[in-house]
């Protein structure tokens, strides 16, 4: 907490901002990458989105007033960047978000940066069939192991709503995996 | 028959995602390259000091000379006495008698009319003048 507070202070100071920002990138690049990757599924898109995310973070540094935790703010920007990127791609293909995600999940087997087994592939396909919001909640809870309170803070939803969405998602995924 | 999978009981199933080698080592530099660099151009004061002094001095001198220049352009040039006399003589409203009233000793000196008038000629002129008595009174 103190470390984050110190980083925020240095990010707010124009004299120390550049060095602090470099530290921010190095500290959060991995966790934000995998968050983005869970949404975008392929590496190249995730790389683009991650860069865009940090550029946006830099652009909006002056707007961060410390009301929320730093990582919540970063996650929020990353989530929006990823979602908008995928939505744009889906629309260009004349697809809905979910249909597009299902297609990408189906192509994972040919992706050079996916070395998962059959079960992992089935899981990704099952997730891609969920509604967009449920997909995100499941991934953040199951893959990224975030607490409900953290997810609620990032997505701006209630913990109760998150729990019911997660349990519904789990049920649908188990049905799909056990059927296919 | 395969056992049914219950996610809460099953060992966590990983995503299966991989990244290029050394991706995270190089990623920060990719971002830093794209950050707009705002550098404030520092102009050493000393280097341009002389130039600014010259500009300021020119401005002050210009401001000082401008009214003088304007005044000089607009000052009436001294017109010679003959020109004034002739001008006035052509004005219908002003008689030659009235012109004489505007002339002082200096003006008469300047005119330097070189006339050789004898006393007899002078007497004759005076006799021919109708209002001689009035002139004597004036």
* pLDDT one-digit tens code per residue, A46-87: 999 999 999 999 999 888 877 788 999 999 999 999 999 999
Contacts of A180 in chain B (CB under 8 A): none
Which residues in chain A are classed under CATH 1.10.1740.10?
1-94
- pLDDT at position B15 is 96
CB B15 within 8 A of CB A111: no
Q: What is the ipTM of this complex?
A: 0.90
Kindly report the pTM of this predicted structure: 0.68
Do B15 and A38 lie within an 8 Å CB cutoff?
A: yes
- pLDDT at position A66 is 77
At the top level of CATH, the class of A111-180 is: mainly alpha
Which phi and psi angles does A114 have, rounded to 5°?
Answer: -135, 115
pLDDT tens digit sequence for B66-91: 776 677 666 655 666 667 666 665 55
Residue B12 sits at the chain A interface (C-beta within 8 Å): yes
Which residues in chain A are classed under CATH 1.10.10.10?
111-180
Provide the CATH number for the domain formed by A1-94 in this structure.
1.10.1740.10
Chain A residue at shortest CA distance from B2 = A178
Residue B26 has pLDDT above 80, yes or no: yes
Residue A170 sits at the chain B interface (C-beta within 8 Å): yes
Chain A residue at shortest CA distance from B31 = A51
Contacts of A46 (CB under 8 A, 6+ apart): A33, A36, A37, A40, A82
Residue B137 has pLDDT above 70, yes or no: no
């Amino acid at each position: 907490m103190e470390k984050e507070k110190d980083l925020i202070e240095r990010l707010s100071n124009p004299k120390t901002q550049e060095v602090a920002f470099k530290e921010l990138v190095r500290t959060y690049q991995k966790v934000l990458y995998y968050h983005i990757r869970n949404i975008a599924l392929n590496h190249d898109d995730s790389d683009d989105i991650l860069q865009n995310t940090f550029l946006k973070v830099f652009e909006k540094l002056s707007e961060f007033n410390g009301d929320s935790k730093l990582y919540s703010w970063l996650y929020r920007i990353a989530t929006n960047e990823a979602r908008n990127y995928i939505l744009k791609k889906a629309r260009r293909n004349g697809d809905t978000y979910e249909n597009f995600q299902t297609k990408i999940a189906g192509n994972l087997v040919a992706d050079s940066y996916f070395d998962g087994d059959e079960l992992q592939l089935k899981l990704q396909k099952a997730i891609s069939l969920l509604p967009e919001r449920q997909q995100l909640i499941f991934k953040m809870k199951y893959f990224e192991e975030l607490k409900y309170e953290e997810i609620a803070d990032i997505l701006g939803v209630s913990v109760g709503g998150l729990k019911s969405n997660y349990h519904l998602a789990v049920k649908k995924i188990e049905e799909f995996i056990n059927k296919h | 028959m395969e056992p049914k999978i219950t996610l809460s009981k099953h060992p966590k199933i990983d995503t299966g995602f991989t990244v290029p080698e050394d991706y995270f080592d190089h990623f920060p530099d990719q971002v830093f390259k794209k950050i707009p660099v705002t550098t404030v151009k520092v102009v050493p004061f000393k280097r341009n000091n002389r130039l600014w002094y010259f500009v300021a001095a020119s401005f002050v001198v210009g401001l000082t000379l401008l009214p003088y220049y304007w005044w000089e352009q607009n000052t009436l040039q001294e017109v010679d006495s003959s020109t004034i006399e002739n001008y006035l003589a052509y004005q219908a409203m002003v008689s030659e008698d009235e012109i004489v009233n505007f002339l002082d000793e200096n003006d008469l000196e300047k005119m330097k009319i070189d006339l050789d008038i004898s006393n007899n000629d002078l007497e004759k002129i005076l006799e021919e003048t109708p209002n001689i008595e009035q002139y004597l009174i004036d």
